[in-house]
Chain A
Amino acid sequence: MLENLTDRLGSALRNLRGMGRISEENIAESLQEVRKALLGADVQFRVARDFIERVKEKSLGQDVIKSVTPGQQIVKIIHDELAALLGEGTTQFTDKKPLRVLMLGLQGSGKTTFTAKLAKHLAKKGYRPAVIACDVYRPAAIDQLETLARQVGVDFYGERDSKDVPAIGRRGWEWAKAQGCDAILFDTAGRLQIDSPLIDEVKRLRDAVLPDEVLLVGDAALGQEAVNVAKTFHEAVPLTGIVLTKIDGDTRGGAALSMKAVTHVPIKFLGTGEKVEDLEVFHPDRLASRILGMGDVVSLVEKAQETIDEDEALRMADKMQRADFNFEDFLTQMRAMRKMGSLGSIMKMIPGMGKMQVGEKEEKRLKHSEALIQSMTPKERRNPNILNGSRRARIARGAGLEIKELNALIKQFAQMKNMMRMMKGAKGKKMMKQMQKKGGLPGGGDFPGGLPGGLGL
């Protein structure tokens, strides 16, 4: 998996350090990494390639600022370029009154739910919305919209015995006007962009209701398909905006870039949850970070600089490299990290770790580890090898925990150390490569305490 762009770039760009300027030769390798990261985030092949070209042009000739690593500098260029591309065009939703909006999209992309969310959003802005059910195919789609409309408190129009979608749309419009509604939203059936009869149908609906906004509702996790979907829909029924749904999942959302790049249609909303309130206007910045798997590197670096003593970090990195790492160092690290905030909030900022599940379970485990180490004598902490049965029993008792938890900790610690030792040896290089491929941390990534020293700050 390609989780961690900054790390990958870090290794690809190591040779850049000490050079004054970015040149074509010395960034070739790193841009290859960027390309792979984009592809791993589901950005479409051609879109990724064109994007890399743009980044290359922008990067060339730039001075490598000494204080930041070149890797981070290039990441910043990429990030800014990405945000610029994602945010291009008006992401503003029209404020016309009266207003008509047509939804479009594949099956299961979330059109009906989004329609209700948008109605709620517009109601808050002072509109009086009505939703019109134009999905006559999916069983109970009309019921679903009606239920949601009631929930949101907006007017609803649907016809259960007609299949004539344009006529339903037209009558819905008339009806809503008569009710005094000034924002009329048309929910449509999910359809494949290549299904000609259904595309024709939606064209006729468009001609009947003359929408001010035509929104393509797309799943943020779409794969390479996103380009075909957006392009074909846009050709058939010119779009005015893209809506990305299910962005509250952990997808990287590269589809957004693909859709934006091929259609130039602005992204206008994000669906961020199951409740009708969960609608967000679009921020190009955040999505750019997400696609790159960057997390919020900037604030992490700032936080780390505030709290971690640089000499201490260096000493730790050195120890790790010599595989001379004991429980005392482990405790120091854990505490340094603690100072930065809750585990969950830190994880979110670490590139590639953002999607790691850090719940109460992990927080608790970290606390337990700390309690166990604190119950060890300094001698035991420095030399875990002397931990025999009776020592273990005493430590577990002291921490108020079970002996098996201590055993698990010791085992993981041994694995980690072993890993460091191997890293040192000839096999190290190969292993590093493998690890990067898998994006995993030593010990299965469930050993959060081992992180800070490895941040390489």
Chain B
Amino acid sequence: MRSFFAKFKEGLKKTTPTFFKAFSAIGGIFGSRVLDAAALDELEEALYGADFGVETTDDILSEIRKAFKTNKQLRGLDAARIGAQVLKDVLAEAEGRLDTFTHKPEIIVLIGVNGSGKTTTTAKLAKLYRDAGHRPLVGACDTFRAAANEQIRTWCERLAIPLVASQHGADAAAVAYDAFEAARKREADVLLLDTAGRLHNKENLMRELSKIRRVLQKHDERAPHHAWLVVDGSIGSNSIEQARVFHREFGLTGLVVTKLDGTSRGGALVGIFRELKLPIYFVGLGEQPDDLQPFRVDHYADALFGLDNQKEQA
């Protein structure tokens, strides 16, 4: 598992993360400087800056303050450890894993708002499963956006993944059905359905999703077996609202958080997990196909609090 850790750091290295800066401000280089009130203020700013939101920020701060009360010699590194621990506790059981399949084909539907990265994620997932020895098939159910078909087709050709697509403007549910049939016929063991981006407050577009479900259930009443919301990691608190509505309307089973290779910390995923308990299956850490990585709570928490560097130096 070089991958996630290294990737995460690579991603984070692209910038001077304010988060780490705050911690160095608190404790020298994660070290020995003793905390003071100003440092706690900086810490608060850094936590908000990571999009953790009010609740998680308060949780982390209050734990650190508690420790600070009993130990006036608390150092920056100690604070970072406390923060990472709070995060790990909050995110306990947030790791989603799907390595083995129990249905044939196992159906994964990827949904999300416009521009969150569904198509790219679909392609990367297909490659990931193919590389792990599975037989993926992709269904192009985004029949709405201009040239969405061409986009997924280019990806699939590049990665040599079988694809079922239709015309622009075709019925998305019909494509899902065709893809399902094709997956059966070709004995694919995982079917990935890319869908059109839709804002969660658009009722008619949400209905289209239900139709996809109904059509799939004609053959398998448990289908789709997975409904993953693709969330842009640079989006703030609205991603919680997105998840809430998609979950209510469609019933999600997990998340994929994309674009964590920028300067954003993707803290909103913590808020989503807190509220909906939806596991995070993958995170997107770059544009290359291999940049989609399984989500690891400890790596995420440690990377955010700069504890991975610490390990390395030790």
Contacts and interface: CB of A to CB of B under 8 A. Distances in A.
B237 interface: yes
A46 B232 contact: no
Nearest to B44: A45
A437 B59 CA distance: 14
Interface in B198-236: 199-203, 232, 234-236
Most chain-A CB neighbours within 10 Å: which of B55, B236, B267?
B236
A288 interface: no
Interface stretch (A78-86, A136-144, A421-429): A136-144
B15 interface: yes
B54 A2 contact: yes
B241 A139 contact: no
A235 interface: no
A139 B114 contact: no
Contacts of B51: 42, 223-225
Contact of A42 (B55, B151, B238, B263): B238
Given A39-B48, A41-B237, A44-B49, A138 B151 contact: yes
A338 B67 CA distance: 54
A214 interface: no
A228 interface: yes
Give the interface size class of chain B.
Answer: 35 or more
A449 to B, nearest CB: 21
Interface stretch (B129-137, B142-150, B296-304): B142-150
Contacts of B201: 248-250, 355, 357
A223 B262 contact: no
A106 B234 contact: yes
Interface string A18-40: 00000000000000000010011
Interface in B148-167: 148-155, 158
A192 B234 CA distance: 11
Interface residues of A, number: 51
Interface in B35-55: 44-45, 48-51, 53-55
B102 to A, nearest CB: 32
B113 interface: yes
Contact of B263 (A109, A228, A249): A228
Interface string A39-56: 111101110000000000
Interface stretch (A67-75, A177-185, A251-259, A363-371): A251-259
Most chain-B CB neighbours within 10 Å: which of A139, A228, A274, A357?
A139
B235 A140 contact: no
Question: Which 10 A/B pairs are nearest by Cβ-Cβ distance?
Answer: A223-B236, A108-B115, A139-B154, A42-B236, A140-B150, A144-B147, A143-B147, A147-B146, A140-B151, A251-B238
Interface of A: 1-2, 36, 39-42, 44-46, 106-110, 138-141, 143-144, 146-148, 151, 192-195, 219, 221-226, 228-229, 246, 248-252, 254-255, 274, 355, 357, 359, 437
